[in-house]
Amino acid sequence: MADKKSCPMGSVGGQALIEGVMMNGPGGCAISVRKTDGTIVTEKQEWKRVKDKVKFLGWPLIRGVVNYVETMIIGYKSLMKSAELSGQLEAEEDTENMSKLDRWLNDHMGPKMLGVISAVASVLAVGVGVFLFMWLPTFLVSIVDKTFFDMSLKSFHGLFEGLIRAMIIVLYMFIVSRMPDIHRVFMYHGAEHKSIACLESGKDLTVENVRACRRFHPRCGTSFIFVIVIVSIIVSSIVLLLFPILGEANMRLVWIAVKLFGVLPVVTSISYEFIKYAGRHDNVVTKIFSAPGLWMQRITTAEPTDDMMEVAIASIKAVLPELDGADYAPDGGTAF
């Protein structure tokens, strides 16, 4: 029933960074960035995967949650590393161009205090995420149920929550994409996708070939988010049918806790397995589940410039043993 895709390097994945791209592949993890002087620097990173140390953490339906947490950690560290390699941090530390607040923080805050501020900001970000994507959908469904409907919506609570969550995600990503700096990251996101698509098509990794490829990919994190939304609708609906009391207004906090610590890990595991399957198969089921994420990539990716594609090519070659160190001359004529 399923047509197996030609996917010679289906395990290669990546992430857009600040003026660069991070790639994960058989040869490890590599970060390539475009420095402020226009040159490309590539640095290989050694990440010890937990599943390589503890084998059962790599089993299906377990590896999804483990991989998700590790990806978040590696992604954050790679983002910070790209800022350092590209020279963006040095540019931000130019006191002549600092705002008054930034200059005051630079003069009065030591590294430890800045670390505390960063930790607090991370906690606040998690809190905002829980509020927007967990509490708010539940609250809105309860309000609509109480205000406009005579019969209870508890039977459809999971469905309506999922639809509201999807709308919030789309609106949030659309607003964020309007920010110039984020839009540039989304362009590198497009370069990452196009270079992986070029590799998987079996073509040589050249700017011309990468430019001709699509920037939408079923294994993208954006698709993963929407697969999570779809699977969460199904799983949440089943849980609410089995335990209808969780749909009561006075059980809102309990239901959020159940979703966060019970439903989410299960949904993440199932979604991860589907994304891996969708990356290698093309059939009706994968097309239906992948369609919302692929559509959303029209917001989270943008057409990259040639110099961005050069950076993505440098990163992807660094994680492929058979290509690492191979000569490649971008349009500017500089080999790396």
What is the total count of domains within the chain? 1
Q: Look at residue 50 and tell me whether its pLDDT is greater than 90.
A: no
Q: Which domain holds residue 231?
A: 3-142+151-318
Whole-number Å distance between alpha carbons of 123 and 218: 30
Average pLDDT over residues 29-52: 87
Confidence of residue 26 (pLDDT cuts 50, 70, 90): confident
pTM over cut 0.85? no
Q: Residue 90: its pLDDT value, please?
A: 58
Q: Which residue has the higher pLDDT, 241 or 336?
A: 241
Q: Which of 309, 315, 308, 310 is nearest to 335 (CA)?
A: 310
Average confidence score pLDDT of the chain: 80
Residue 179 lies in a domain: yes
Residue 327 lies in a domain: no
Task: Give the pLDDT of residue 326.
Answer: 45
- Are the CB atoms for 2 and 297 separated by under 8 Å? no
The whole-number pLDDT of residue 247 equals 77
Mean pLDDT of 259-264: 89
Query: Does residue 331 lie in a domain region?
Result: no
pLDDT at residue 221 greater than cutoff 70: yes
Give residue 2's pLDDT: 39
Q: Is there a domain that residue 50 lies in?
A: yes
Inter-residue contact 185 to 17 (CB < 8 Å):
yes
- What was the pLDDT predicted at 39? 93
Confidence grade of residue 110 (pLDDT, cut at 50, 70, 90)? low
pLDDT score, position 77 = 85
**Of 161-165, 238-242, 329-333, the least confident:** 329-333
For 224-237, write each residue's pLDDT tens digit: 888 888 898 899 88
Label residue 4 by pLDDT band (50, 70, 90).
very low
CB 277 within 8 A of CB 171: no
In this structure, is residue 332 part of a structural domain?
A: no
325 domain residue, yes or no = no
Q: What is the pLDDT of residues 295-309, one digit of tens each?
A: 899 999 999 999 999
| pLDDT for the residue numbered 6 | 42
Contact between 243 and 187 under an 8 Å Cβ cutoff? The reply is: no
Greatest mean pLDDT among 114-123, 163-172, 187-196, 250-259: 187-196
Indicate whether 333 belongs to any domain. no
Residue type, 279: G
pLDDT computed for residue 138 by the predictor: 83
Which of 273, 172, 270 lies closest to 230, judged by CA?
270
Any domain includes 328? no
What band does 19 get if pLDDT is binned at 50, 70 and 90?
A: very high
